[in-house]
Amino acid sequence: MSLTMAALIASITVFILAIFLGFELISKVPATLHTPLMSGANAISGITVVGALLASNVAFNNGSPGVAAWLGFTALVMATINCVGGFMVTNRMLSMIAGKRRKKEVA
């Protein structure tokens, strides 16, 4: 598989535009929507974990684990860290909201 210069430039352009678009979208989200968006991001990371497991399995079962196996393993580790961290942040945000509700009920 050879990558032409035009395809490489197009891929880099799409990647850079995705970075700017993601930053603009995240910066304009109100604070009340962060928890549901975090849950959606965690679901996407869960799908990435499953995909990375499948990619690693295929690469290791072919007999000679090469670059694909290491990329699959790296994707698995990073997606797992992202998923666990996202659930921890979501849990903390929900407990902060629940704490405010409990204080209002007591007063």
pLDDT at position 70 is 81
10-residue averages of pLDDT along the chain (107 residues): 79 90 81 70 80 80 75 86 83 76 61
Q: Does the global pTM surpass 0.75?
A: no
- Distances in Å between the Cα of 16 and the Cα atoms of 6, 9, 10, 27, 79 are 15, 11, 10, 17, 21
pLDDT at position 17 is 93
Residue 34: both structure tokens together: 């962060």
Residues 86 and 41: beta-carbon distance below 8 Å: yes
